[in-house]
Amino acid sequence: MRKTFLALLALASGPALAANPHVALQTSLGTITVELDAKRAPLSTTNFLKYVDQHLFDGTSFYRVAKSAPGYGFIQGGIRGSGQRTLPPVAHEPTSKTGIHHVAGTISMARQEPGTAEGDFFITTGKMPGMDAHGKDPGFAAFGHVTKGMNVVLKILNAVTLKGGQGAMADQILKQRIAILTAKRVP
């Protein structure tokens, strides 16, 4: 009976839970390929794949760069609040439960509060333990890693940002967004 339940769960959840899928993000600067960890972060992986499979990332962009040192920080992209592209938010999967930590090349869900992540994500360029859950801080939901294209991630990180602005994104918005031409599953 348990095997039947697990088989039905896998079918209902789609291919995301069957293996660690790979997604290629073709950008105007080159391709970034990520491997998603469906076993340890099934909710975030399934959410991301819904955006990929429905082509909701196609024609979006990387729009934010947060640098704290040369070659160190993160890049952020996705739907940027586009109502036409937004799917329901996904429940938060903290790193304290998944065991996936923010190291170089980690892909993670961008969000305001836990449980509000939709179609925006970020990729780190170095070890960033401050993004992990610790104590009462829920951190961010990491769900995979870059397997190819870290050179593209670094090109985006080094792009020119606008000066000014307020809040967490002050001085971090790209002067010229980097297009995400397509996002698709790859073998």
pLDDT tens digit sequence for 157-184: 999 998 877 677 778 899 999 999 999 9
Mean pLDDT value across residues 110-130: 95
Return mean pLDDT, the chain: 89
Mean pLDDT value across residues 96-113: 96
Q: Is the pLDDT of residue 6 over 60?
A: no
**Is-contact 54 79, C-beta < 8 A?**
no
Mean pLDDT value across residues 33-49: 97
**pLDDT value of position 18:** 54
Mean pLDDT value across residues 70-74: 90
**pLDDT value of position 9:** 38
- Model pTM? 0.88
Measured in residues, the chain has a length of 187
Q: Give me the torsion for CA of 34, 40, 41, 43, rounded to 10°.
A: 130
- Residue 4, C-beta contacts closer than 8 angstroms, at least 6 positions apart: none
Q: pLDDT: is 162 or 76 the higher one? A: 76
Place 69 in a pLDDT band, splitting at 50, 70 and 90: confident
Place 17 in a pLDDT band, splitting at 50, 70 and 90: low
Considering the four listed CATH numbers 2.60.370.10, 1.10.530.10, 2.40.100.10, 1.10.760.10, the one that applies to the domain covering 2-186 is: 2.40.100.10
Q: Which tokens go with 122?
A: 């970020």
CA-CA distance, 2 to 8, in Å (whole number)? 10
**Is-contact 146 33, C-beta < 8 A?**
yes
Q: Is 7 exposed, middle or buried (0-12, 13-18, 19+ CB in 10 A)?
A: exposed
Please state the domain extents for the chain: 2-186
Give the CA distances from residue 127 to residues 21, 101, 148, in Å, rounded to whole numbers and listed in that order.
23, 8, 18
Residue 123, Cβ neighbours under 10 Å: how many?
Answer: 26
CA-CA distance, 165 to 154, in Å (whole number)? 23
When mean pLDDT is compared over 15-24, 68-77, 131-140, the highest value belongs to 131-140
**pLDDT value of position 120:** 97
